[in-house]
Amino acid sequence: MNAHDTSIDLAAYFERIGYAESVRPAPTLDTLRALHLLHPQAIPFENLDVLIGRPIRLDLESIQRKLVAGRRGGYCYEHNLLFRSVLQTLGFRVRSFAGRVLWGRELSDMPARTHMLLLVDLDEGAFLADVGFGGMTLSAPLALQTGLEQITPHGAFRLEGAGEAPGYVLQALVNGAWTNVYRFDLDPQYDADYEMANHFVSMYPQSIFLHNLLAARLAPGKRLALFNRRFSIHDEREGSDHRELDGTASLRRVLEGELGIRLPDGAELDAALARLPNQA
């Protein structure tokens, strides 16, 4: 379905995520779990380029230059195209799909397919892999089985049937309740499909990415997320804390500090940050 791509710089990627094995890892479930945990803790989710009017390029060279060498972050297409290339180069069998985001929506809603996700086929079965869903990004692959609560380093998830529609619904256990994350089916997606969806979410006037700041990163036992000026830290043991950030200097400190983003150059960023609304 997708051409085997060997142009990924594995050494640079491993250094970026802190994967320190001295030998090239085998395409096993243990390797997948290790990479899936490290990636979202090192490479943040963020939409700064969209916010300041710069195009999102999905060719592998551009993604590596931005997320790996440039120590930036990105959104789902950038993260999962990079992760797919790493996995394919290591010899994993990877399939690409698209999801309909249900976060904050009802199960009956049927928004456009704007999210990219992966399935990895192993001897143990098929596993959902997704390192690019913002503040609710998975930190471990999930077995493609319904009705099974699966514990990850960052909370519990499960896959359920999608009702009358074919496919699956990913749910997360949030404050004691199962919450819909996204729905997907097994209709194969190709790189051209992601180019079209990327154009839509980065250019459509009503896209959430166009007028809002979204940034997130996982840390050991924690989820860090920024939506406009609202900075949230969810600790698996201590619960959640939220605070409003006042001024562009505070936003910059969190983006560079807690979220670990090397900020883009240019005056456009400060102007975009100054326009952000308060969430309180």
Query: Catalytic residue numbers?
Result: 76, 115, 130
Between CA 51 and CA 250 the distance in angstroms is 18
Tokens of 21: 């094995």
DSSP 8-state symbol, 134: G
C-alpha distance across the termini of the chain, in Å: 46
Compute the half-sphere exposure of residue 128: CA atoms within 13 Å on the CB side of its CA. 32
**Which residues have CB under 8 Å from 220's CB, separation 6+?**
41, 153
φ/ψ of 30, rounded to 5, equals: -60, -40
φ/ψ of 95, rounded to 5, equals: -120, 150
Between CA 177 and CA 112 the distance in angstroms is 25
Helices and strands, number each (H, E), in the chain:
9, 13
DSSP 8-state symbol, 12: H
Contact 209, 51 (CB under 8 A): yes
